[in-house]
């Protein structure tokens, strides 16, 4: 038997015949002064594991199991995320709202279940049991997924630092949040919704509907970010209810074209402000509007007008649907929406893009007809 592997015979084993006792493999980590152990039902599995782990230890990619608890690891992770030392997989800093969501999920549902256990002791079965219990308690699928998200982040970091060999959050059977498509409004409905609002609120909803800005981006938009002459809005920051101004969701600035229908609203509103700096939609130059109050006023106005209400986020989806209907390509739309990748745009709005056989054939026919007409005109001209 190879060094570092032994068979663990139980008391009832007489070591005769076909012994089925398990095999224990171990690798000594000099860096930690500890052994890394694991038990297997067969000798071949133990030998394979030991060869892989020995290589990982030599290359300093793996360390002995940590004694830190899940609660301690979670606190360290939250502190690192708040300070910006720990980043998302794309390298961006975690948003304050995301950190608050993670902290609440850990405090309310994760730590009461596994907080006192060692990080290295928690198994995939333990976490699957927790997911199943939450599902049995009739929690919404999105709530359950958010509960596991901070654990995924904690274990992903532990594995990356070589503190864990296996990530127990991988391979979990998670419930799927099934819901209808986000509401979008066609052009005629957009006009009716806006006309039902008081002028001071109308411009905010128009910017969400015709420029696709997120709620926090609307709250943080400054007068100097709008170039009516160039026809663009510079989206340079967002707004968090507790942290104030923050970076945009993608971490990058972007330029959004100003359509003529939006230009009229913005032009009139900027003139009424009478200043060239400060927040565009704030209650003052430095204080943003209250999104809840804005939504409540709008809901009352639409109810009086007997119109189906819409949210600021649904206005953003409406902007995407209008741009697609107007023929804007997916790459340009992805840029205007501030998505990190074009795949996000395609996943979210691909169902709105032309794609049926009739639509595809019609688009091709129209293109060929234009090309043929252009060729005929060029021939006559020569």
Reported as a pLDDT band with limits 50, 70 and 90, residue 348 is confident
Q: Which fold does the domain 187-352 belong to in CATH? A: hpI Integrase; Chain A (1.10.443)
Q: What pLDDT, on the 0 to 100 scale, is given for residue 357?
A: 58
Share of the chain above pLDDT 70, in %: 94
Tens digit of each residue's pLDDT (9 = 90 or more) over 192-216:
999 999 988 999 999 999 999 999 9
Distance (Å, whole) CA 280 – CA 218: 8
The answer to whether the beta carbons of residues 153 and 105 sit under 8 Å apart is: no
What are the tens digits of pLDDT across the range 6-51?
888 877 776 665 777 888 988 888 877 788 888 888 888 889 988 8
Res 16: pLDDT: 64
What per-residue confidence (pLDDT) applies to 31? 79
Give the angle subtended at the CA of 276 by the CAs of 274 and 278, to the nearest 5°.
Answer: 100
Options 1.10.150, 1.10.10, 1.20.1070, 3.30.40; which CATH number does 70-160 get?
1.10.150
Q: Which two tokens stand for residue 45?
A: 């599995």
Q: What percent of the chain has pLDDT over 90?
A: 57
Q: Is the pLDDT of residue 382 over 70?
A: no
State the average pLDDT over residues 293-312.
96
How far apart, in whole angstroms, are the C-alpha atoms of residue 123 and residue 100? 26
User: Per-residue pLDDT tens for 258-298?
Assistant: 999 999 999 999 999 988 899 999 999 999 999 999 999 99
Average pLDDT over residues 374-381: 73
What's the pLDDT at 134? 94
Give residue 355's pLDDT.
60
| Residue 23 φ/ψ, nearest 5 degrees | -110, 135
DSSP for 41-85, please give it.
Answer: SSHHHHHHHHHHHHHHHHTT---PPP--BHHHHHHHHHHHHHHTS
Three-state DSSP at 86 gives: coil
Domain residue spans of the chain: 5-58, 70-160, 187-352
Q: Say what the pLDDT of residue 120 is.
A: 84
pLDDT digits (tens, 9 = 90+) for 169-198: 999 999 987 655 578 999 999 999 999 999
The pLDDT tens digits for 53-106 are: 888 888 877 777 778 899 999 999 999 999 999 998 878 889 999 999 999 999
Average pLDDT over residues 159-175: 86
């Amino acid at each position: 038997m190879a060094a570092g592997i032994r068979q663990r015979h139980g008391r009832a084993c007489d070591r005769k015949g076909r012994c089925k006792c398990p095999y224990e493999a171990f690798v000594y980590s000099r860096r930690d002064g500890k052994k890394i152990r694991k038990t297997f039902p067969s000798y071949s599995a133990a030998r394979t594991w030991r060869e892989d782990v020995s290589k990982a230890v030599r290359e300093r990619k793996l360390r002995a199991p940590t004694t830190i608890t899940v609660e301690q690891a979670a606190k360290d992770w939250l502190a690192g995320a708040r300070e910006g030392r720990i980043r998302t997989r794309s390298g961006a800093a975690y948003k304050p709202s995301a950190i608050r969501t993670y902290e609440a999920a850990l405090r309310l549902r994760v730590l009461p279940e596994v907080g006192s256990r060692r990080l290295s002791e928690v198994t995939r079965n333990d976490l699957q049991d927790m997911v199943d219990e939450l599902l049995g308690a009739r929690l919404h699928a999105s709530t359950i997924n958010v509960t596991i998200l901070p654990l995924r982040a904690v274990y992903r970091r532990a594995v990356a630092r070589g503190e864990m060999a296996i990530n127990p959050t991988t391979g979990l059977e998670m419930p799927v949040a099934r819901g209808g498509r986000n509401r979008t409004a066609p052009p005629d409905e957009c006009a009716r919704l806006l006309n039902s609002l008081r002028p001071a609120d109308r411009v905010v909803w128009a910017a969400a509907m015709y420029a696709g800005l997120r709620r926090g981006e609307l709250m943080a938009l400054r007068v100097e970010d709008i170039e009516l002459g160039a026809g663009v809005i510079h989206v340079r920051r967002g707004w968090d209810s507790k942290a104030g101004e923050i970076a945009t969701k993608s971490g990058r600035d972007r330029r959004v074209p100003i359509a003529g229908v939006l230009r009229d609203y913005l032009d009139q509103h900027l003139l009424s402000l009478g200043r060239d700096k400060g927040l565009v939609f704030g209650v003052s130059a430095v204080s943003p509007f209250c999104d809840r109050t804005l939504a409540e006023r709008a809901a009352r106005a639409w109810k009086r007008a007997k119109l189906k209400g819409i949210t600021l986020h649904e206005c953003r989806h409406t902007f995407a649907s209008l741009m697609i209907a107007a023929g804007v390509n997916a790459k340009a739309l992805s840029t205007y929406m501030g998505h990190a990748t074009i795949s996000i745009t395609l996943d979210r709005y691909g169902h709105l893009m032309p794609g049926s056989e009739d639509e595809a054939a019609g688009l091709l026919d129209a293109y060929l007809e234009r090309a043929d007409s252009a060729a005929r005109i060029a021939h006559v001209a020569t």
